[in-house]
Amino acid sequence: MQSKIKLLPEHVIKTISVLEKRIADRFPESGLRNTCADFLEIAKKSKTNIEWIAKPNVALRLFSYLIILIGLGGIAFGISNVEFKIEDTTITNIVALSEAVFNDIILLGAAIFFLVGMESRQKRKRALEMLNELRVTAHVIDMLQLTKDPSLINSNLRATVNSPKRSLTKFEMERYLDYSSELASLIAKIGALYSQSLPDEVVVRSVNEIEILCTGLSRKIWQKIMILNQIED
């Protein structure tokens, strides 16, 4: 029995949109807000791609079937025009004819294999291109939270010339890290939409890799939040 539980792209996009507004309320000029806005556009583009992937490509299928029928008709026509005569049925002639027919069948089989898989390869290529954008977005989020060190909150350490600017309060850093964790989780959800619509082995493996990446990122962020919660105000 097929499961009726599915991720809905519009719900995920709505969640990303709300998150972008929440980030804008607290960090309007931050890189995190800009990254979330870019991610929202990627999510909208992904929805269009996923809808395209879920639909059969009728034109491509008809073209493939037409080429296959032409190939089968060509082989049938060639065999039907071979003149069989008793005096010509030598071993050499039979072997030569069998070899020619066998070669045609092998070539036609390879053509059929290529044409039948053309639609899935086309969809896989588009899915992998978008999944790569999701992977890059996850790495950008990881870069943005690198300098958010909870151990330096309320620290009297003297900053150097090249030290990153640390102006966030404890509460602001906690919200920043929490938003980053939510973003990482939503990236994994957009990836899951692709594997849901196209259960291709290559696509599913790529989605799993993104999920592992985002889970590791969220775990690292929550470790910082736990450290932050142990610091006294």
* Per-residue three-class SS string for 147-187: CCCHHHCCCCCCCCCCCCCCCCCHHHHHHHHHHHHHHHHHH
Comparing 3 with 195, which gets the higher pLDDT? 195
pTM score, whole prediction: 0.76
How far does Cα 28 stand from its chain's mean position? 29
Tokens of 125: 């290529």
Whether 135 and 46 have beta carbons less than 8 Å apart is answered as: no
Task: Give the pLDDT confidence score for residue 34 in this predicted structure.
Answer: 95
Q: How confident is the model at residue 81 (pLDDT cuts 50, 70, 90)?
A: low
Phi-psi category of residue 154: left, alpha or beta, with phi > 0 → left and psi -120 to 50 → alpha: left
CA-to-CA distance for 95 and 30, rounded, in angstroms? 76
User: Is residue 98 over pLDDT 70?
Assistant: no
Phi and psi torsions of 50, nearest 5°: -65, -40
Contact by Cβ (8 Å): 119, 61:
yes
Distance CA 119, CA 6 (A): 24
Q: Of all residues in the chain, what percent carry a pLDDT higher than 70?
A: 70
Asked which of 14-18, 19-23, 93-97, 162-166 is least confident by mean pLDDT, the reply is: 93-97
The conformation of residue 88, written as its DSSP 8-state character, comes to G
Residue 122 buriedness (CB in 10 A; 0-12 / 13-18 / 19+): middle
Per residue in 127-162, pLDDT (tens digit) is: 999 999 999 999 999 999 888 888 777 666 676 777
Ramachandran assignment for 3, one of left (phi > 0), alpha (psi -120 to 50 degrees), beta (any other): beta
